Structure 1
Amino acid sequence: MICRRCIGMRLATKKDIINAIEYYAPQKYALSKDNPGTQIGELIGNVSNCIVALDATEEVVDKAVEINAELIISHHPVFMEPLKNLTNKYIGNVAKKAIKNDITIYTSHTNLDVAPHIGVNHALIDTLSLDFKKLSNLLNTYKQDFYKIVVYVPKEYLESLKEIIFSSGGGRIGEYSDCSFSTLGNGTFKPLPGTNPFIGEIEKRDNLDEYRLETIVNSENLDKVIENILKEHPYEEPAYDVYQLEQPYHQVGLGLIGELTAPINCDELLDIVENKLDTRINFSGEKKSYINKIAVCGGSGGKLINQAVASGADAFITGDIKYHEALDAYGRGLIVIDAGHRETELPVINKLVSYLDNYYKNQETNFIAYYNQEKILTGRESNI
């Protein structure tokens, strides 16, 4: 069915939007038992309205139908366990309504938890407005392998070969692209019978001024970079070397920890968490007058208490803390602030919407942050 109001509009496609999210939160970052990705529908077609929510509940699907949204981005999966049946109960109704109205539901779960820049924990840090000297992961969960590739090339082909490497995915270090180093040197070679040299004569050793061009490339792009170097290099037999690197150029993980630019006391921190997240908190631990190092983990972070203690955290902000986890932290001198699973993850909704709005600022797709109104684990109102 063609949307008449979309004719002539410059709209992002479903696939483009998912690619924008997976630039920072690819599915390979997800933990082993997770189920990220397309839950319902297909990544085909344009998007006039896209809802971003924590959960793709029936309420959210109803809202999508109401505003003619073609895509729902949810943080939590619709289907976490293998599906045995689909009935007219809750999940069945979600699927039925989404399919009937051609709405695609896509999930970015633990891959978004660990994602840099747009992820759950970076969004939580931004919302709390705490100033850190530097942030690092509490628990590394994914490390990208990198290689240094070195190739020798005559001066007149140096820049064109750089472009080939960069366009094939090489030369990326963190948030910097087109990274390389080159130095001038002198090489020797002697073409043997049966060769077809670009320069030089058969059976005669020659000297040639060449540039040593080196850059780095991740494991996913290594084969493509080498293939394109060999295809575009002027030499019949290009000389190149590949070295596997040990340093962790790119790691992602659960939780974040950092040292504040200026220490605060415990009551100040508790007030910040309650006010910025607009929630009532629970906490355990002896109130300290000097809190310098803080760890955070949006959602459920009880299993990271060991990492928080080992990293020297004075306080740990998270959700879903169990009694015995709090008791363990208390005995080890760690203040634990339980601000709620939902409340510590909600900031990522605005973070994603802001990112997508900016990414598609020259297009007319609308991105809508939607905060589910279902009452999940809420306290009852007092009659006093």
Structure 2
Amino acid sequence: MRTVAEVAGWLEGFAPSRLAEKWDNVGLLWGDPGAEVERVMTCLTVTPETADEAIREGAGLIVSHHPILFRETKRIRADLPGTGFLWRLARAGVAIASPHTAFDSAADGINAGLCRRLGILDAVPIRPAAAPAAFKVVVFTPESDRDAVLAAAFAAGAGRIGDYDECSFAIPGQGTFRGGDSTSPTVGEKGRRESVAELRLEVVCPGGKLAGVLAAVRGAHSYEEPAIDVYPVESPPSELGAGRVGRLESPRSLGEFARAASGVLGVTVQVAGDLDAPVERVAVSCGAGDDFLGDAARMGAQALLTGEARFHRALEARATGVGLIVAGHHATERPGVEDLAERIALAFPDIIVWPSQDESDPLVAVDHAGRA
């Protein structure tokens, strides 16, 4: 039987919490990590409607894109409309996890999914996530020290590459040294140059664990003063980060692309800009992403598609010549929630997973005749 913690752990691997914005609240936010879970529901937001559906359908975990209790809440009472559904979820033993902006910025997260749907090719992050600092630690040891030094380095956190651990490389060579008057060499005598067969051992090390790894290596080494080199490691361009920008297969007018986006997302969109202007490079930011307009312009995009935009941002778009397409918060993020249900189901075939069927966009378009 699977637990809430196992599903939450998979979610952390898929959308690492380090990608979340500093103001965000992500991860397992509600419930018992050790509770068993047989059914999982995904949704955009936990509301009275989605909460009732989760309880009715026997979900043990809700994966909600938007976090619960995002702002300070002083009272959680069953008789208050803003918290009554949380009280019901607690009584039913339903846990809640939220990936939010970490999911937006994941390599195959919401924005990447929007690009696929909209036919945007070769998409890269608008604001790439900074790669964690990493180093290559090189230590020179006699053959007899190899196992002890490597074991100490691995135990301290070095040697992990992706899903592999205890990774290292060794090159044989010849080392020389001469100890001064105050030394007590492990090999040979002080004051005389010694030549010793040694190994050059290399391991990668996360920046946050460097000090511990160096201390562990020194503690396991038989030499009084082991030779250790530390090199910073450059990371390749990341697939992780906020927003996406890419190209269309062939240029289209802003109006043509906006109409195509409307059909793909199934909503009426709003557009700021010259509908006849050519568009080939397009930026995307789900939800409330109008603050990416300047980034989109700097990266050569002729249009930005997002969920929400402020009035003055639309004026800015029109003035700068970058088309702005506003498709709605729900429309730009709900498809990702549906994709996420499929991903969780593939990762956990023994769990029933579904996207909420009772969730709907709280905003409904009404025309001049009052028709929705």
User: TM range, normalised to the smaller chain?
Assistant: 0.7 to 0.9
- Counterpart of 1:59 in structure 2 is 49
- Counterpart of 2:208 in structure 1 is 220
User: Alpha-carbon deviation of 1:299?
Assistant: 0.6
TM-score under structure 2 normalisation?
A: 0.84
- Counterpart of 2:356 in structure 1 is 370
Q: 1:114 aligns with which of 105, 113, 119?
A: 105
Matched, 1:90 2:77: no
User: Residues 214 and 371 (structure 1 numbering): CA distance in 2 closer, same or farther, change over 3 Å?
Assistant: farther
User: Alpha-carbon deviation of 1:341?
Assistant: 0.8
- Deviations along 1:145-182, whole A, 9 cap, x unmatched? 22232222456876997787678654566799887665
Task: State which drifts further: 346-355 or 242-251.
Answer: 242-251
Task: State which drifts further: 120-129 or 335-344.
Answer: 120-129
Q: 2:341 aligns with which of 333, 338, 353?
A: 353
- Counterpart of 1:38 in structure 2 is 28
Matched, 1:339 2:327: yes
- Deviations along 1:169-198, whole A, 9 cap, x unmatched? 54566799887665443212457899684x
- Deviations along 1:50-74, whole A, 9 cap, x unmatched? 1111111122221221222111111
Task: State which drifts further: 224-233 or 21-30.
Answer: 224-233
Task: State which drifts further: 321-330 or 235-244.
Answer: 235-244
Instruction: Report the secondary structure of 2:260's partner residue.
Output: helix
* Aligned sequence identity (%): 27
Instruction: Report the secondary structure of 1:76's partner residue.
Output: coil
- Counterpart of 2:257 in structure 1 is 269
Instruction: Report the secondary structure of 1:100's partner residue.
Output: helix
- Counterpart of 1:3 in structure 2 is none
Letter aligned with residue 196 of structure 2: L
User: Alpha-carbon deviation of 1:95?
Assistant: 1.5
User: Residues 25 and 295 (structure 1 numbering): CA distance in 2 closer, same or farther, change over 3 Å?
Assistant: same
User: Residues 297 and 84 (structure 1 numbering): CA distance in 2 closer, same or farther, change over 3 Å?
Assistant: same
- Counterpart of 1:207 in structure 2 is 195
Matched, 1:185 2:173: yes
In structure 2, how many angstroms separate the alpha carbons of the residues matched to 1:297 and 1:30?
14
User: Alpha-carbon deviation of 1:357?
Assistant: 2.5
Contact in 2 for aligned 1:274/1:339 (Cα 8 Å): yes
User: Alpha-carbon deviation of 1:12?
Assistant: 2.3
In structure 2, how many angstroms separate the alpha carbons of the residues matched to 1:81 and 1:129?
36
Instruction: Report the secondary structure of 1:320's partner residue.
Output: coil
Matched, 1:293 2:284: no
Letter aligned with residue 265 of structure 2: L
User: Alpha-carbon deviation of 1:97?
Assistant: 0.7
In structure 2, how many angstroms separate the alpha carbons of the residues matched to 1:16 and 1:178?
24
Instruction: Report the secondary structure of 1:111's partner residue.
Output: helix
Contact in 1 for aligned 2:53/2:358 (Cα 8 Å): no
User: Alpha-carbon deviation of 1:222?
Assistant: 3.2
Letter aligned with residue 327 of structure 2: A
User: Residues 343 and 169 (structure 1 numbering): CA distance in 2 closer, same or farther, change over 3 Å?
Assistant: farther
Task: State which drifts further: 139-148 or 99-108.
Answer: 139-148
Letter aligned with residue 318 of structure 1: T
In structure 1, how many angstroms separate the alpha carbons of the residues matched to 2:278 and 2:155?
50
- Structure 2's unaligned 5+ residue stretches are none
User: Residues 263 and 38 (structure 1 numbering): CA distance in 2 closer, same or farther, change over 3 Å?
Assistant: same
TM-score under structure 1 normalisation?
A: 0.81
* Count of aligned positions: 367
- Deviations along 1:14-64, whole A, 9 cap, x unmatched? 112111111243333322222223332221222111111111112222122
User: Residues 53 and 158 (structure 1 numbering): CA distance in 2 closer, same or farther, change over 3 Å?
Assistant: farther
Letter aligned with residue 351 of structure 1: D
User: Residues 90 and 142 (structure 1 numbering): CA distance in 2 closer, same or farther, change over 3 Å?
Assistant: farther
Contact in 2 for aligned 1:144/1:250 (Cα 8 Å): no
RMSD in angstroms over aligned alpha carbons?
Answer: 3.4
Contact in 2 for aligned 1:76/1:108 (Cα 8 Å): yes
